[in-house]
Amino acid sequence: MRRNTFLPFSRPDIGQDETNAVVDVLSSGWITSGPKVQDFEQAFAEYVCSPYALSLSSCTAGLHLAMNLLDLKPGDEVITTSLTWPATVNMIHLCGGKPVFVDVERNTINLDVSRVEEAITERTRAIIPVHFAGQACDLDGLRDICKRRGIEIIEDAAHAVGSEYKGKRIGSSDNIAIFSFHPIKNMTTGEGGMITTHDKETYDKLRLLRFHGVDKDAWRRYGKAEKEGYDLLIPGWKYNMTDMQAAIGVVQLKRLDEMTERREKLVALYDSLLRDVKGLTLPANVPYSIRHACHLYTLIVDKDKAGITRDEFMQEMKKLNIGTGLHFLAVHQLSFYKRHYPLPDGSLPETEYISERIVSLPLYSLMKETDVQDVVFAIQDILKRFKK
């Protein structure tokens, strides 16, 4: 049906339990990092099966801390994908590293592991795979290369809360993984992030860097049992999550599987309704066993096939009261990176192809089946008008 109200691209699924949890914190007398943060970290560590989970103000903060741990020297390189949110690449640059882009696979939009080896030099320190849309990268393939070449893997798991790779949750492996709880993500804390690791020393260092580098966080400094005084062990940042955010996170995490199942149903409906629509390319599945978090549902709109460019398509969808998203424009083609790390056009052909044509359809657990039908109706209406 043609909609007469706007369908947003995303909307957080916040219920009464989340609201009550925040109100409880607000009236508890302690609203910054405290007992709720500890509860959330413990619950998250248990959920993903990792010994350590550290909450943060954002995934970007986690990427910053993880890059900082690498202690990059001028000329050190970090491999990643250009089809990501700029935060992934910004943190490499801001920590003194050189971002090196590897092309993605046209169909899955994940890093093309077969091209990683040729991008490695003696200056390569780490690789940041992004589990695009919530579909796990080929981690075994990457581990094989990285082990041989002595390179660290740092997973950008911003889209991958609830994702699994070969039966194990993303976040359970022994390398660092960093999650986002931004409001469009599968679960939210308003803003927020989480970093998981198996290594106690790494955890301790991240914990310090998260809160100024001071040996006691606020909860411990003001607690009755604590001794007076504090020390600064290393200069750090202020990236802690508040108890108000963590209270939302505790409830959202309990609901995560149910919310992901809802997304799975909506994705299956998109797949079945769009399968026979000519002119579009639907998202493809990886060939190994995963659980897709169904964070995004992306289409490729190619003017040669659809008769319309992606940008025109997004405008037409808006006219029909359907919001869409853009994940992502290739980072290496954005002004700053074009100036500082120039690459000739066509250097990353799949990334560039996708960047010009990709669009994300509305997808969130509060959506109804009829909303999906409305989106598909709008797409068909547009293609009828533009496709030759």
Ligand X SMILES: Cc1ncc(COP(=O)(O)O)c(C=O)c1O
When the beta carbons of 85 and 297 are compared against ligand X, the nearer one is: 85
SS3 of residue 124 by DSSP? strand
When the beta carbons of 60 and 68 are compared against ligand X, the nearer one is: 60
When the beta carbons of 259 and 320 are compared against ligand X, the nearer one is: 259
How far apart (Å, rounded) are the C-alpha atoms in residues 208 and 45?
19
**Which residues sit at the interface with ligand X, rule CB under 6 A?**
58-60, 84-85, 87-88, 130, 156, 158-159, 180, 182, 193
Q: Tell whether omega for the bond before 9 is within 30 degrees of 0, i.e. cis.
A: no
SS3 of residue 8 by DSSP? coil
Q: Minimum CB separation from ligand X for residue 87, in Å?
A: 4
Backbone angles phi, psi at 304, to 5 degrees: -60, -30
Q: Minimum CB separation from ligand X for residue 290, in Å?
A: 17
| Beta-carbon contacts of residue 131 (< 8 Å; ≥ 6 apart) | 110, 137, 155, 156, 157, 159, 160, 163, 170, 293
Q: Minimum CB separation from ligand X for residue 245, in Å?
A: 12
166 is catalytic: no
Closest CA to 66 of 140, 119, 160, 129: 129
Question: Residue 113's CB: how many other CB atoms inside 10 A?
Answer: 19
| Under 8 Å between Cβ of 58 and 180 | yes
Instruction: Tell me the C-alpha to C-alpha distance, in Å, between residue 72 and each of 64, 134, 217.
Output: 12, 29, 27
Backbone angles phi, psi at 360, to 5 degrees: -105, 130
When the beta carbons of 159 and 262 are compared against ligand X, the nearer one is: 159
Backbone angles phi, psi at 197, to 5 degrees: -155, 160
Integer Rg of the chain from CA: 22
What are the structure tokens assigned to 270, written together? 């998109």
Q: Which of 36, 98, 185, 205 is catalytic?
A: 185
How far apart (Å, rounded) are the C-alpha atoms in residues 362 and 378?
12
SS3 of residue 290 by DSSP? strand
Q: What's at 206, amino acid-wise?
A: L
Q: Minimum CB separation from ligand X for residue 266, in Å?
A: 20
SS3 of residue 68 by DSSP? helix
What are the structure tokens assigned to 94, written together? 């801001």
| Beta-carbon contacts of residue 83 (< 8 Å; ≥ 6 apart) | 104, 109, 130, 132, 328, 330, 331, 351, 354, 355
In the numeric block, the tokens 């699924």 are attached to: 13
Closest CA to 105 of 368, 386, 351: 351
The catalytic residue positions are: 185
